[in-house]
């Protein structure tokens, strides 16, 4: 799928794979991470001048363990990467996510951001995010990462419950808002395809 010169890939189930982007090439990669018995490695190599990639990912499950190695390698000047991931973990499931941004010495003027937020929807759920930066040059626009692991906010639960909402409905609203916030990074045409997939995943969490 192509949109305004950007190649778009949508993965309903994640898998190990590697992408190589050449000069001026643009990729939007949308993925739903899938629990598997082995670690999945997903790699993006920005090898040409001005290559750019945006990765939007959801990790929503109540069983099993998601193990992801997510690497973005800036190998050429003026390359750009944006990675935004939301993990919503219920039941006794677990999520382990290793995110790496690597800026090679020759990749001056590069710009990389990695943000991973995890919401644990049950007291048995486990989540761990390990973002890493490897920067070989000081000539960069920006390179930064952030990772959070949280549970439901007690004040939000109390406030919404005080307005007459049942606790289950409150948590449903909070989970929907958490997961759907990433849609702001996607074109409208892609959102139309992704929103039903998110809703289906959330049903499993809500019913748990």
Using alpha carbons, list the distances in angstroms from residue 75 to 53, 78, 114.
13, 10, 17
Per-residue model confidence as pLDDT tens digits over 55-92: 999 999 999 999 999 999 999 999 999 999 999 999 99
pLDDT band at 196 (very low <50, low <70, confident <90, very high): very high
**Is this structure's pTM higher than 0.75?**
yes
For 122-151, what is the mean pLDDT? 92
Tens digits of residue pLDDT in 154-170: 887 777 778 777 878 88
């Amino acid at each position: 799928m192509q949109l305004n010169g950007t190649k778009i890939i949508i993965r309903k189930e994640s898998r190990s794979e590697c992408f190589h982007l050449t000069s001026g090439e643009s990729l939007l990669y949308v993925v739903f991470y899938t629990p598997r018995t082995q670690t999945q490695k997903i790699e993006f190599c920005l090898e040409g001048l001005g290559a750019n990639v945006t990765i939007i990912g959801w990790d929503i499950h109540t069983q099993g363990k998601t193990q992801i190695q997510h690497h973005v390698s800036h190998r050429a000047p003026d390359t750009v990467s944006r990675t935004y991931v939301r993990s919503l973990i219920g039941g006794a499931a677990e999520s382990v996510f290793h995110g790496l941004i690597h800026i090679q010495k020759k990749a001056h003027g590069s710009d990389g951001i990695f943000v991973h937020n995890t919401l644990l929807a049950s007291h048995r759920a486990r989540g761990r995010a390990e973002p890493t930066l490897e920067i070989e040059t000081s000539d960069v626009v920006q390179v930064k990462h952030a990772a959070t692991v949280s549970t439901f906010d007690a004040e939000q639960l109390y406030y919404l419950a005080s307005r007459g909402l049942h606790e289950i409905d409150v948590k449903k609203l909070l989970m929907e808002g958490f997961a759907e916030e990433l849609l702001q990074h996607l074109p409208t045409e892609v959102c139309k395809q992704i929103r039903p997939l998110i809703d289906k995943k959330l049903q499993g969490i809500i019913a748990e």
